[in-house]
Amino acid sequence: MGGCEVREFLLQFGFFLPLLTAWPGYCSHVSNNQVVLLDTTTVLGELGWKTYPLNGWDAITEMDEHNRPIHTYQVCNVMEPNQNNWLRTNWISRDAAQKIYVEMKFTLRDCNSIPWVLGTCKETFNLYYVESDESHGIKFKPSQYTKIDTIAADESFTQMDLGDRILKLNTEIREVGPIERKGFYLAFQDIGACIALVSVRVFYKKCPFTVRNLAMFPDTIPRVDSSSLVEVRGSCVKSAEERDTPKLYCGADGDWLVPLGRCICSTGYEEVEGSCHACRPGFYKAFAGNTKCSKCPPHSLTYMEATSICQCEKGYFRAEKDPPSMACTRPPSAPRNVVFNINETALILEWSPPSDTGGRKDLTYSVICKKCGLDTSQCEDCGGGLRFIPRHTGLINNSVIVLDFVSHVNYTFEIEAMNGVSELSFSPKPFTAITVTTDQDAPSLIGMVRKDWASQNSIALSWQAPAFSNGAILDYEIKYYEKEHEQLTYSSTRSKAPSVIITGLKPATKYIFHIRVRTTTGYSGYSQKFEFETGDETSDMAAEQGQILVIATAAVGGFTLLVILTLFFLITGRCQWYIKAKMKSEEKRRNHLQNGHLRFPGIKTYIDPDTYEDPSLAVHEFAKEIDPSRIRIERVIGAGEFGEVCSGRLKTPGKREIPVAIKTLKGGHMDRQRRDFLREASIMGQFDHPNIIRLEGVVTKSRPVMIVVEYMENGSLDSFLRKHDGHFTVIQLVGMLRGIASGMKYLSDMGYVHRDLAARNILVNSNLVCKVSDFGLSRVLEDDPEAAYTTTGGKIPIRWTAPEAIAYRKFSSASDAWSYGIVMWEVMSYGERPYWEMSNQDVSAANS
Ligand code: ACK
């Protein structure tokens, strides 16, 4: 049938099929990881399947309200013994499939509801297949067919259902594979049941083409062996490049698992919804990576798309080592305020930095000396006679000392400023010139210097301004050093006024001071040396008495204020803290009581994470947040409902790396899935027992969300036992059971009911220690492939569950103990299936 909406149609089926109305679920939902090879609901003409003998299966084709055919095959020879009725499909091409799935929708009549058929009526039919390269002309020989399975109905219908016009449609899916020939036939064998086969859908699963982390992964067919994954290498999308080899694993169900590695957008491109888009004009991206395009930095532009670096505006440049993110810059303006100071032997030139540094910090200066006549256009180079200290080019400080000049000469000094882009500009370098006549008088020396006071660490000095300054006084330079260490090291400071307080001195130590003045024409010579001593403790007290008095007054005032404030905050703060703490403990107690968890006062009990209004609070209360950089994923070891399970290593600062299992939450999850996923961590984090799987922590603040637990080398107990059938002594098996019992006792003491105790949910480490895992209440049951829906609507692993829990969901430590009994049986039988192939219905019936 076409659309999968609930539709109404009528179907008359022999004497036992009811008039059917509102038959939901007749249509199949096809997900994009299924490739359908046959779907009888979409075949328009006759199906044309073969039936043997001719009076066995009957084809009935009805039309739905859209005038499309509904192909049904029915058989109901329940009165006659020894039925052997075959229905064979046409040849089905296997396409790329290795493993195929057959989905059958059918109704089956309950034998008890048909009178007089005891002994002849059956409630199952058999599904067979045969592989073939030939699509035609094959004679039907039952002996060539291989049995896939006996198909029983989960729900059969009775006469009463017929009366109530209730149709119980069963859906069963079986896997077949590996298929090696070009195609195959399916066959349905009836041995005396009352069946209507309403639809058959044959499909295989594939991991569909996908793009993850900017890498493309082609359609991939999963392995036949459902526990192993196909590793697929991705290729980068257009304008992207590989960072770490991008890989995905194709799981048996056609799901892509564990994205590893990635591609990144190349320079000039940025990521937009899974592809790399060129940067717009005016934007650039200089490095490959998953960053966005950035606006061109100041004084740069681009009119093109996909730009990796913006061009500088006219007059602006980028030095070789400038990063693309830096603004374009230009050469500086000329230095300012050049002054000189000259004595008989040395000429000191000083200047201020340029008003415009061009936007850079790498300013340097050069000094060019020229000798000019009266006509300044006729200048000549000063030649090599002069010495510049430290040098005449590449000066970082704003001064230079010129030595070895000749008297009575006019020297013109041009001070140039330059920066990292000056060489890139063709314009002449701006400079400021100063002309110095070498017999000019310097300002006169400072005369007497007085000590105003001295403390242990400071001295206050004052002096008279010089009698002759030859220009405006700019400031005074005071040079000083310890008398004992004369000339080894000295310090200097400046003062605009003719007085200074020098601090940071040693107590009771003699210091030498000399001072010079700086005017617009340069420095004077240094004054004569003056020797002053710092004070000892007594002098300090005297000198600083005034200050101490002020400080003490302030301190007393401050302290009093502090005491008042502290008292105020203590009183109000404590009150608040006390109130908060009390509220918190009260809230917890209420939660406990509400949920029946205040079991044994003083003994730690389990807290249901669902009692937290915000479940993320629960996970952070019970689980440590791990920085993902501490986790190294190595291998995929399986696939869970929420995502893949990997093995790897966890690094803890100051500790050895430990092996861990990492459960991941698939991308694209809903909030609810994330909550359900993390609920397991919130539960596991509350337990601390050698037979309960230990939680190392969670990753919730980055993607993918992960739960990190201790690594159990031998995986789950059921498959471990099946793999090592007969290898252990009874003592060893009982040892495993003892461990599980100990873990379960701990859980029951904590007030936790597991609900899904089974060997598949026990993990085994390399020392054969068994630990209980798979926590999560209802989620566990959703996740468990063994869980089946009960008549009350819940999903329950029937074979492991106590009758009262199946019947009215009475789960308790007592029902966990029932499950433990089943686990004992599983262990001692090396992982055999409890109740072997008995149907769930029969198991429940046997136990109730
Ligand atoms: O039977 P297994 O090898 O054991 O395959 C399943 C798979 O991941 C999916 O659940 C294995 N597994 C789960 N938790 C752990 C763990 N802590 N240590 C080792 N294997 C684990 C499980």
- At residue 574, the pLDDT reads 31
Report the residue among 636, 680, 716, 767 best suited for mutation to probe ligand 1: largest number of ligand atoms under 8 A from its CB: 716
Instruction: Indicate the SS3 state at residue 226.
Output: coil
Q: Which of 711, 712, 760, 784 to mutate to test the pocket of ligand 1 (most atoms within 8 A of CB)?
A: 712
Q: How confident is the model at residue 374 (pLDDT cuts 50, 70, 90)?
A: low
Which residues are paired to 163 by β-bridges? none
Residues 699 and 748 in one domain: no
Q: What is the CATH number of the domain that holds 373?
A: 2.60.40.10
In the block, residue with structure tokens 């592989």: 131
Q: Is 659 in the pocket of ligand 1 (CB under 6 A)?
A: no
At 135, phi and psi to the nearest 5? -95, -10
Top-confidence residue, 423 or 21: 423
Is it the case that residue 6 has pLDDT exceeding 80? no
Nearest residue to 57 (alpha-carbon basis) of 187, 176, 203, 152: 187
The residue out of 399, 415, 438 marking a domain boundary is: 438
Higher pLDDT, residue 698 or 250: 698
Check whether residue 479 and residue 521 sit in a common domain: yes
Report pLDDT for 704: 80
pLDDT of residue 766: 96
**Interatomic CA distance for residues 245 and 214, integer angstroms:** 11
pLDDT of residue 261: 80
Per-residue pLDDT for 556 more than 70? no
Is the same domain home to 707 and 724? no
Q: Which helix (H) or strand (E) holds 243?
A: strand 240-250
**Is 152 among the domain residues?**
yes
Is 547 a residue whose pLDDT tops 60? Answer: no
| Of 634, 637, 650, 711, best ligand 1 pocket probe by most atoms within 8 Å of the beta carbon | 637
For the CA of 693, the nearest atom of ligand 1: 17
| Alpha helices, H only, 595-657 | 615-622
Cis previous bond, 797, omega within 30: no
Q: Which of 289, 341, 18 is nearest to 160 (CA)?
A: 18
- The band of 788, judged by pLDDT with boundaries at 50, 70 and 90, is low
For residue 84, pLDDT over 80 is answered with: yes
Three-state secondary-structure class, residue 288: coil
What domain range is 170 assigned to? 34-205
Whether 278 maps to a domain, the answer reads no
Q: What is the pLDDT of residue 566?
A: 35
Q: For position 648, which CATH number holds? A: 3.30.200.20
* 719 Cα nearest atom in ligand 1: 1
Residue 742 has pLDDT above 70, yes or no: yes
Ligand 1 atom with the shortest distance to the CA of 773? 14
Q: Is 759 in the pocket of ligand 1 (CB under 6 A)?
A: no
Burial 395-417 (b: 16+ CB within 10 A, else e): beebbbebeebeeeeebbbbbbb
645 lines ligand 1 (CB under 6 A): yes
First to last CA, the chain: 40
The pLDDT tens digits for 776-785 are 754 445 456 6
Q: What length is written for the chain? A: 848
**Phi and psi angles of residue 192, each rounded to the nearest 5 degrees, phi first:** 120, 30
Sign of the torsion angle spanned by Cα atoms 490, 494, 498, 501: negative
| Cα-to-centroid distance, 817 and ligand 1 (Å) | 24
Q: Is 663 annotated as a binding residue?
A: yes
Catalytic residues: 756
204 pocket-lining for ligand 1 (C-beta < 6 Å): no
Question: Does the beta carbon of 719 lie inside 6 Å of ligand 1?
Answer: yes
**Structural contact between residues 444 and 469, judged by C-beta atoms closer than 8 angstroms:** yes
Q: Encode pLDDT of 71-83 as tens digits.
A: 999 999 988 888 9
Q: How far is the CA of 101 from the centre of ligand 1 (A)?
A: 26
pLDDT at 76: 92
CB 417 within 8 A of CB 332: yes
242 and 199 in a single domain? The answer is: no
Measured CA to CA, the distance from residue 412 to residue 600 in angstroms comes to 98
**Residue of 649 and 438 predicted with greater confidence:** 649
Check residue 814 and give its pLDDT.
95
Of 222, 250, 265, the one marking the end of a domain is 265
C-alpha span between 209 and 35 (Å, rounded): 13
Q: What is the pLDDT of residues 563-598, one digit of tens each?
A: 333 333 333 333 333 334 334 433 443 444 344 344
Tell whether 189 and 79 lie within a shared domain: yes
pLDDT band at 260 (very low <50, low <70, confident <90, very high): confident
The answer to whether 805 and 799 have CB atoms below 8 angstroms apart is: no
Residue 187 has pLDDT above 60, yes or no: yes
Residue 418 placed within a domain:
yes
Do residues 729 and 658 both lie within one domain? Answer: no
| Confidence (pLDDT) at 764 | 98
Ligand 1 centre distance from Cα of residue 716 (Å): 6
CA distance 454 to 545: 12
Q: Whose CA is nearest to atom 7 of ligand 1?
A: 638
Distance, CA of 639 to CA of 251 (rounded, Å): 7
Residue 284 in any domain: the answer is no
Q: Ligand 1: which residue has its CA nearest to atom 20?
A: 715
Ligand 1 centroid – CA 214 distance (Å): 30
Q: How many domains does the chain have?
A: 6
Flag whether 280 is in a domain: no
Distance 681 CA to ligand 1 centre (A): 16
The response to whether residue 252 sits with its C-beta less than 6 Å from ligand 1 reads no
Higher pLDDT, 548 or 259: 259
Query: Does the CB atom of residue 735 touch ligand 1 within 6 A?
Result: no
Question: Do 71 and 168 share a domain, yes or no?
Answer: yes
Does a structural domain hold residue 231? yes
Indicate if the pLDDT at residue 650 is higher than 80. Answer: yes
77 and 191 inside one domain: yes
Range with the poorest average pLDDT among 154-168, 486-500, 695-709? 154-168
192 and 233 share one domain: no
Q: Whose CA is nearest to atom 19 of ligand 1?
A: 712
State the Cα–Cα distance between residues 412 and 405, nearest whole angstrom. Answer: 12
Distance from Cα 760 to the centre of ligand 1, integer Å: 9
172 and 223 assigned to the same domain? no
Calculate mean pLDDT across residues 172-194: 94
For residue 603, being part of any structural domain is answered with no
CA-closest residue to ligand 1 atom 12: 715
Q: Ligand 1: which residue has its CA nearest to atom 2?
A: 715
- How many CB atoms neighbour CB 425 within 10 A? 16
- Cα–Cα distance between 563 and 551 in angstroms, integer? 18
Write out pLDDT tens, residues 671-718. 888 888 999 999 999 999 999 999 999 999 877 889 999 999 999 999
Q: Whose CA is nearest to atom 8 of ligand 1?
A: 638
- Residue 502 — pLDDT band, cuts 50, 70, 90? very high
